[in-house]
Amino acid sequence: MEQALQQHNTDDKTTFGFWVYLMTDLVMFAALFATFAVLRGNTFGGPGGRELFNLRFALLETFVLLVSSFTCGLASIAVQRGSKNQTIFWFVFTLTLGLTFLALELTEFSHLIADGNSWTRNAFLSSFFALVGTHGLHIAVGLLWMVVAMFQIWFKGLTSFIVSKLTRLILFWHFLDLVWIFIFTIVYLYAYV
Amino acid sequence: MKSYLTGFILSIVLTVAAYFAVAEQLFVGQMLVVAIIGLALAQFVVQLLFFLHLGKGTDSRWNLVVLLSAISIVLILVIGSLWIMHHLNYNMTLPAPLDSHYLINQ
């Protein structure tokens, strides 16, 4: 009993530490947001956000990520229930949606670059690629983490060690959706104001 | 389950509302900016409560403390940058004949 309680406290501390990391990540994103907000008008004679961004496409990306955040929540319920198969099922779902999101984002990037609007063109596009690209990189890392986690669940089952790790993976994934809300608003919607 | 479903539905409603406010230009100028930022902040709170379950669990008070200190740094960073750079642009504006519109075209 005492040992179990101690284990529980250690897990709580680890998760709290991870939460602190997420908050510092938030500060890093804030720096990128501030850079974007300052430089969004500096297009050096090139096209601005209104000419470059497709609102419907951004809305689609937003929905894909939002649904993946939701299915990730369903995975966390399956973890609490201790159901290995359900957990894997919902993580596969989340992974697929995450990959879809990443594919959509890379499509958008490649279209921009193909039209000569890469990060080298002006300060606005540099800050755009820095901000959205950093978020995309986080998504890619999250997907990799998810794949590793699924192998661990598959081979070792839902042990307390793995459950504790999954808690943090789920936090990370929800956090990425949280950041995307502001990218959708400040980068895409704001371009059309 | 109920908490996730509530959060999910609210998030969709808020996202769609923000999208239509801009796509249909329901407000003009500054009002539209206030509206979409307000909707984003509302969704931020919704997801914090229903997805990240802030306020539940044993040590949630400390989670909240770290979150609030992070938010205060975020606000100083973002508002401060915009404020300073706006004034720099304003003060750096060159006399009329010189080609200065790249400096101030925001």
A115 to chain B, closest Cα gap in Å: 22
- On whether the CB atoms of residues A117 and A111 are closer than 8 A, the answer is no
- For the four alpha carbons of A158, A159, A165 and A167, in that order, the dihedral sign comes to positive
Same domain? For B75 and B103 the reply is yes
Count of C-beta atoms within a 10 Å radius of residue A92? 14
Question: A109-129: buried (b, 16+ CB within 10 Å) or exposed (e) per residue?
Answer: beebeeeebebebbbbbbbbb
Comparing C-alpha atoms, which of A189, A90, A163 is closest to residue B16?
A189
Contacts of B67 in chain A (CB under 8 A): 23
- Give chain B's domain count: 2
- Report DSSP letters for A17-43, one per residue: HHHHHHHHHHHHHHHHHHHHHHHTT--
What's the whole-number average pLDDT of chain B? Answer: 86
A111 to chain B, closest Cα gap in Å: 22
Contacts of A174 in chain B (CB under 8 A): 47, 51-52
- Does the structure show a pLDDT above 60 at A21? yes
Same domain? For B27 and B44 the reply is yes
Which among B12, B29, B78 has the least Cβ separation from residue A66?
B12
Topology annotation, domain A2-40+47-192: Four Helix Bundle (Hemerythrin (Met), subunit A) (1.20.120)
- The pLDDT value recorded for residue B96 is 54
* Amino acid identity for residue A187 in this structure: V
Last residue of a domain, one of B53, B68, B97: B53
- 3-class state of residue A5 by DSSP: helix
* Amino acid identity for residue B94 in this structure: L
Give the start-to-end residue ranges of the domains of chain A.
2-40+47-192
With an 8 Å Cβ cutoff, are B40 and A45 in contact? no
With an 8 Å Cβ cutoff, are A37 and B43 in contact? no
Q: Supply angle C-alpha A90, A173, A10, rounded to 5.
A: 95
* Amino acid identity for residue B72 in this structure: S
Nearest Cα residue in chain A from B88 = A38
With an 8 Å Cβ cutoff, are A73 and B29 in contact? no
Same domain? For B29 and B73 the reply is no
Which among A23, A44, A189 has the least Cβ separation from residue B66?
A23
* Residue percentage of chain B with pLDDT more than 70: 84
CA distance A75 to A9: 23
Same domain? For B15 and B40 the reply is yes
CA distance A10 to A119: 44
Helix spans in B24-106 (H): 30-50, 60-92, 101-104
Which among A55, A69, A77 has the least Cβ separation from residue B1?
A77
With an 8 Å Cβ cutoff, are A77 and B85 in contact? no
- The pLDDT value recorded for residue A13 is 87
Phi, psi of A118 (to 5 degrees): -85, -175
Same domain? For B9 and B29 the reply is yes
A50 to chain B, closest Cα gap in Å: 12
**Eight-class DSSP state of B95:** P
Comparing C-alpha atoms, which of A48, A149, A156 is closest to residue A90?
A149
A20 to chain B, closest Cα gap in Å: 7
Nearest Cα residue in chain A from B84 = A38
- Does the structure show a pLDDT above 80 at B4? yes
Same domain? For B24 and B6 the reply is yes
ipTM of the complex: 0.91
- On whether the CB atoms of residues A124 and A48 are closer than 8 A, the answer is yes
| Confidence bin at A111 (pLDDT 50/70/90) | very high
Count of C-beta atoms within a 10 Å radius of residue A69? 27
Q: Which of B19, B20, B33, B92 to mutate to test the interface with A (most CBs of A within 10 A)?
A: B19
Domain that holds residue B44: 1-53
Q: Supply angle C-alpha A28, A33, A38, rounded to 5.
A: 130
With an 8 Å Cβ cutoff, are B105 and A55 in contact? no
Comparing C-alpha atoms, which of A138, A17, A166, A8 is closest to residue B66?
A17
Same domain? For B101 and B66 the reply is yes
- For the four alpha carbons of B75, B81, B83 and B86, in that order, the dihedral sign comes to negative
Same domain? For B47 and B71 the reply is no
- The pLDDT value recorded for residue B90 is 78
Average pLDDT over residues B65-83: 95
pLDDT digits (tens, 9 = 90+) for A49-108: 999 999 999 999 999 999 999 999 999 999 999 999 999 999 999 999 999 999 999 999
- 3-class state of residue A65 by DSSP: helix
Which among A19, A38, A66 has the least Cβ separation from residue B82?
A38
- On whether the CB atoms of residues B18 and A76 are closer than 8 A, the answer is no
